[in-house]
Amino acid sequence: MLLNKIKKEIRDSSNQLKAKILQSFFKTKKGEYGEGDLFLGLTVPTSRTIAQKYILLSLSDLTKLIQSKYHEERLIALLILIEKYSQENETGKTKIHKFYLNHTKWINNWDLVDLSAPKIVGHYQFNYPEDKNKDSGQKYSRLFKLANSKKLWERRIAIVSTYYLIKKNQYGPTLEISKLLLKDKEDLIHKAVGWMLREVGKESVTTLTSFLKKYYKTMPRTMLRYAIERFSPEIRQAYLKGEI
């Protein structure tokens, strides 16, 4: 079975020393965002190489792999899922998109979200929105549902998915979800929102500065720092001092 083969190859590529480093890097201690996550010590390039060899793994087997207690197995499952999604027609993409949203419980660290959300959820939302004739709140209702989730990683999926929309010059969903998350208590959300706002600024600095004019004094400091990262030192200081 392919599932047994891929698991064996993953185990054969494990590195205990690297695993300890990764468990510290991804904050797996009690009370930290990655509490309880376990690592095998594979590098990302190794994980990508393994994923490429097992693209034919069925969704049934991917269900078992993505539900693994090991971070790298979940990562490899997502890498395979991304590749399968890219090769499918609309029907196949719909099935994989649904699979993804049904398994957010196991997409439970920032790297897993960031590598997969734009390529699956973001792509699907842009190309197959609920109603192309509605405003963004209704057109992208799946994203807004995720943004209102009580689960940290679903909220991060919501905002990071908009990266794909930004690259298609659709900034509305990013700005609207950013407003929803302005009072979020999680630092990982502050960073993600600030990151996406910065990406908006790369495409349209006017859109970013217009948003900041309304909200920069009330947004979390980390979010603001990320959003203004590409501005000149003088302008960054003015924002941080509340002098814009």
Query: Where in the chain are the domains?
Result: 1-87, 105-244
Residues 83 and 55: beta-carbon distance below 8 Å = yes
Contact 26, 109 (CB under 8 A): yes
Instruction: Return the closest-CA partner of residue 70 out of 102, 115, 22.
Output: 22
How much is the pTM? 0.94
Helices vs strands, H then E, count in the chain: 16, 0
Please tell me the distance from the alpha carbon of residue 221 to that of residue 33, in angstroms, as a whole number: 19
Residue 19 is classified by DSSP as H
Query: In angstroms, how far is CA 101 from the centroid of its own chain?
Result: 12
Which amino acid does the sequence have at 191? Answer: K
What is Dmax (Cα atoms) for the chain? 63
pLDDT score, position 132: 58
The pLDDT of residue 228 is: 98
| CATH class of this structure's domain 1-87 | mainly alpha
The owner of tokens 């990655």 is: 34
- Three-state DSSP at 70 gives strand
CA 112 – CA 77 distance, rounded (Å) = 10
The pair of three-digit structure tokens given for residue 138, joined into one six-digit string: 């209704």
C-alpha 75 chain-centroid distance: 12
Question: CATH assignment of 105-244, given 3.40.50.620, 3.30.450.260, 3.40.50.300, 1.25.10.90?
Answer: 1.25.10.90
Q: Which residues of the chain have pLDDT under 70?
A: 131-138
The 3-state DSSP class for residue 69 equals coil
